[in-house]
Structure formats: structure tokens, C-alpha cells
Structure 1
Amino acid sequence: MNRRASVLREMGLAPVWRLRDAPGATVDSPPAESATSAAVAGDLEPVAAVAAAPASEPAVLPARTAVLPTAPPLVAPARVATEDMDWAALEAAIGACRACPLHERRTMAVPGVGDRAADWLFVGEGPGAEEDLRGEPFVGQAGKLLDAMLAAIGLARGRNVYIANAVKCRPPGNRTPEASEMAACQPYLERQIALLQPRIIVALGRPAAQTLLGGEVKINAARGRLFDRAGIPVVVTYHPAYLLRNPQDKAKAWEDLCFARAALAPR
């Protein structure tokens, strides 16, 4: 079994079907082990998923692109002036932040990790217990799944990818961050985006999507649509922790990643 097949099996998506006779779609021929009319592994219903194409020829999903009007980002209280911060100053400010009660129980703040010249920015919800101990996002079981998701489209943590969270400190009991907590952290995420200037942002889960898009977001309704955020395309998909609890939706996440790569903004 080759590496790609192993990655797709980790995601619960092997073997993968090929899209055929889709109007306007271009799909590379999948490897022999993927070009089979077998059902997707596990309890998933049969799904037509696009096989990962080389980075120079991204896969294209048919009739899914819908560029929506620009959604303004959530306006956060002016708690921290981050506009002139470089990476070192920004991470120091995050580590010393007392802007909301989440700092009271944290072990470590979790600024983000990855390539600071990355084309791809993945934004999650907030740190969990293991992230709080290590100071790095997505290092638990959800992190392993995220790494598999990245590998499935030819990416890797730290190589052309930066990973951050909407909030930088762990909410107690891994609960969903409150609006005030996300607003307090908003200036940090805004500055990370300004420093990175990514070509595309992938919002992992509803809190991240709402932070980035500045309003109520329903994942099922937002999937397959390309949002514009100050000139940067944003794609919304499920959080890896959700996928661990709901593996039947892994195929949808795989579809979203293919869609994101097809939508990658040109330089």
C-alpha cells in the first residue's frame, strides 16, 4: 500500500471513487488502487470524491464554486494594538495576554505553528488539554487527523502551512469559546493573517468560521462556497475533533479540501 492510500485510509476515505462525466470538471486519473467502483470504507454512503491531483494541477469539483459577498470580520474590542507587531512581538503579546478570563487557567498560550510564509492558513477553534500543555495547536488525536487531511492533498505541517486557533488559550473543559473570548483574541488572529498574507484560509469548524467571517455560520450551508475575506478566499469545513466523533462526515471534509485547493488564489 502506497503512502497516499495509507493517508486516505486514515481519513476513512479509501478506496476513492473518481468523478466521471461531470460537466465542466477536470479530474486527473487516479492511481490503480483508487479507480474502483467499491463503496467508501466504513459505514459511509458511496461518495464521489476527487482524487488528490499534483499541486500544479489542482482537482476541480463541479458546480460548487459560489463566491459570496465579502463578510466583514468580527470587530473585537481594542484591547491590544497589534498593527505594528512582528512575529516575535505578537507571540510575546499572546503569551502575556490577560484580555479575557481564559488566561486564569491556562498552562501555556498557544499562538500558532508553521511556515510563516505559507500559502495555506488553517484556523481551528481553541487549544485542548494537550495543546495547553505543549503550547502548539492540533497535537492530540484531532491533530493526527488534521495531519492526515493535509497529507491527502499534498501538504504537511510546517511546509507551506500555518495552523492557528480563533482563541489562544484553552476554554475550560474544552467547551466552545464564548463570543467575548473570541473577540478578545481577534486582534491576534488579524495580525497573524496580515503577517502571513495567505493565499487561502480554511476554517475548521463553526467558531473559527464565525470569527473569520463575522457572523452566524452553519457548516452544512457554508460548505462548497467560496467566501471572500478582504481579498483572501475562505473555505469552511468540519473541525477534526468533530470528524473523530462523526466519521461519516470525513468524506465531506475530503471533498472540501479538494475544493479549497481548486480555489487557491493566484499570487
Structure 2
Amino acid sequence: MSLDLDDRHRAMLQEMGVHVWWPQADAPVVEAAPAPASVPLAQPTAPPAVIPAEASIAIEHRVVDALSVRGGVSRPAQNTGSVVFDADAVVGEMAHADWAGLSEAISACQACKLCVGRRAPVFSAMAATAQADWLVVGDPPEDGDERAGFPFSDQVGLLLDNMLKAVGVTRQDALAPVAASQAAYLTHVVKCRPALPRAPQPQDLAACESYLKREIALTQPKVILAMGRVAAQTLLRESDAQVGTTPLGKLRGQIYQYQGIPVVVSYPPTYLLRTQQDKARAWADLCLALSVARPDQV
């Protein structure tokens, strides 16, 4: 286990008063007096310093402690002391979970390092028997999503809701469920936003994919809309070996498969808020997804 801190992260830690041990650069070498030409001087090379795994974990926990004081961040209830991250345990737990069991498991999850320092998982369970023809899978949650406690919040959510309404679909509501043919279930590819935001690692994605598979089993969608690069890579890596190196724009315009369910790739709403000119392409993606979900109406 390792913790990579760049200059920005170290500056954040210093501002918060968290003193982090970090290997110092090698001291400048002072040249000795010239030796006789027949006796060359050997320059010993010191091995690179390595941060022990225990120190890395301690650093992360000190960051969480500092953020807890400043911003109300808290660890999961069980996360006291040394944590053993076990992604394999999630697979068995999710085999027959209902929405209530899925929500409980995600709330207490410590299957990967993303749980360290989260405020709360970003997840919205549906009503016990609710389903949805559309499943929208987004990239890792933003800060606003974590604060709200549900996927695609704030302006991002407003844009996505309007996009879905344009094709006759609304966000599935646990309190007032709508018919599956008119509903979209929204989720993120991972459910946690760590105290020090970072890109999810393969082991993080593997842990949360067990939850995603159970969401799919409960939702029974007719089409999956993957909005974002991380979402697309997670859903397509088994069917397309080149997905990891293919730009998001080139993944569009095709129908893929994930466990037998059609998948359409599009831009994330956060990107569309900044890049107005690509909204027309996103509309084309929605129309492609609509042709899959309702082939008799297109």
C-alpha cells in the first residue's frame, strides 16, 4: 500500500497543520580535493527511500482526522485502527441482497481505500419492487453528490434530469415510484468520495462493481447509459480490450454489451456543463439509447 502525495496535497496538509514525514532530497555532494589520477573516487548511491505501508496508512488517517475537525468528515463506524480492505467479501454478501440490504452494505462498506475519510456513501436505493428501463452509470461522485447523499446533484443533476425528460424518462423516486418504462435509475460507478479525492484504482472499481451488478439485477434495465470515461471503462473492459486507451468520444455511437444488457456511452454531465458544443452529440447518444429501450417507438 502506498500514498502518492504531490506538491498540492502536501500544501493542503501543511495548511491543515498535519505534519507528514516525507523523504528529503539527497544532500548536495561536496566535492573532495582532487585525488591522484590513478585512484578514481567512487560515488556511493543510496537506495531510494520508501514509505512503509504502515506510515502510508497513518498519513491517510491523520488527514481524515484533520478534515473531521475542519469539515465534518467522518470515517465509517468500523474504521478504527488498522483496516483490512476485502473486496472479495462483497461478492458473497451481494448475491441475494434486496434494496434495503444493498443500502446497508454500502453504508458500512470498507472493501477498498475509497472509504477512508468519506462523509457518507453516494447511493439512492429504490422502493422494494421498483424497476427502471434505463440505468445511468456515472463517473465517481463529486463533492456536491457526497454532501447531498444521492447521485447527480446540483446543476449536474438538473441538466441530466432535463436530458432524460427530453426522451420521456424521469429519475426513479423511492418515495413516489414511476412505471419502469418511464424511469431511469441513477448511480455512480463507485459509491465513495475519499478525503483526498483521487482516481479510483482497479481494486476500488472491482469492489464497487459487485454493488453495481446487484443494482442491475434489481433494476432489470433495458439499456445502460455510461456517462463518463471511468464508467465506460468499467462496463466495457471485458468486451473491448482497447477501452482503456480509446478516447471517450470514439467510444460513442455504438451499442456494447454488459452481462447481456445493451450499453451506450456518452459524455458526463459535468463535461457538458463546460462544453456546450457537445450537447448535440449527447442528444444523439440519448436517441441511440432510446432506440434500444423502446425500439417500437423510434
State the Cα deviation string for residues 77-100 of structure 1 (Å, max 9, x = none): 523121111111111000000111
- Report whether the alignment pairs 1:84 with 2:107: no
The amino acid across from 2:212 in the alignment is L
How far off its partner does 1:179 sit?
2.5
**In terms of mean alpha carbon deviation, does 101-110 or 174-183 score higher?**
174-183
Could you tell me how far apart the structure 2 residues matched to 1:132 and 1:177 are? 16
- Report whether the alignment pairs 1:112 with 2:124: yes
Could you tell me how far apart the structure 1 residues matched to 2:102 and 2:262 are? 24
Matched residue, 1:187:
210
Could you tell me how far apart the structure 1 residues matched to 2:275 and 2:89 are? 37
Matched residue, 1:177:
200
Matched residue, 1:29:
none
How far off its partner does 1:132 sit?
0.9
Matched residue, 2:286:
257
TM-score where L is the length of structure 1: 0.67
Matched residue, 1:148:
162
Give yes or no for contact 1:126–1:171 (8 Å, CA) kept in 2: no
Matched residue, 2:44:
none
Describe the shift of the 1:155–1:173 C-alpha distance in structure 2 as closer, same or farther (beyond 3 A).
Answer: farther
Which of 135, 139, 147 lines up with 2:153 in the alignment? 139
Could you tell me how far apart the structure 1 residues matched to 2:236 and 2:213 are? 12
Which of 198, 217, 232 lines up with 2:261 in the alignment? 232
Could you tell me how far apart the structure 2 residues matched to 1:109 and 1:225 are? 32
Give yes or no for contact 1:171–1:177 (8 Å, CA) kept in 2: no
DSSP 3-state at the match of 1:170: coil
Matched residue, 1:99:
111
Structure 1: segments with no counterpart, 5+ residues? 1-75
| Segments ≥4 residues shifted beyond 4 Å | 171-175
Could you tell me how far apart the structure 2 residues matched to 1:258 and 1:139 are? 23
TM-score where L is the length of structure 2: 0.60
Structure 2: segments with no counterpart, 5+ residues? 1-85, 173-177, 238-242
Could you tell me how far apart the structure 1 residues matched to 2:283 and 2:295 are? 22
State the Cα deviation string for residues 193-252 of structure 1 (Å, max 9, x = none): 111111000000110011111252532221110002222100000000011122211110
The amino acid across from 2:122 in the alignment is V
Matched residue, 1:46:
none
> RCO (CA 8 Å, sep 6+): is it higher in 1 or 2?
1
- Report whether the alignment pairs 1:243 with 2:272: yes
Aligned length: 192
Could you tell me how far apart the structure 1 residues matched to 2:89 and 2:154 are? 31
Structure 1 vs Structure 2 CA RMSD: 2.1
DSSP 3-state at the match of 1:149: helix
The amino acid across from 1:78 in the alignment is D
State the Cα deviation string for residues 124-153 of structure 1 (Å, max 9, x = none): 012211211221000122111111111111
State the Cα deviation string for residues 70-120 of structure 1 (Å, max 9, x = none): xxxxxx952312111111111100000011122122111112355731000
How far off its partner does 1:175 sit?
4.3
Could you tell me how far apart the structure 2 residues matched to 1:79 and 1:209 are? 25
Give yes or no for contact 2:190–2:208 (8 Å, CA) kept in 1: yes
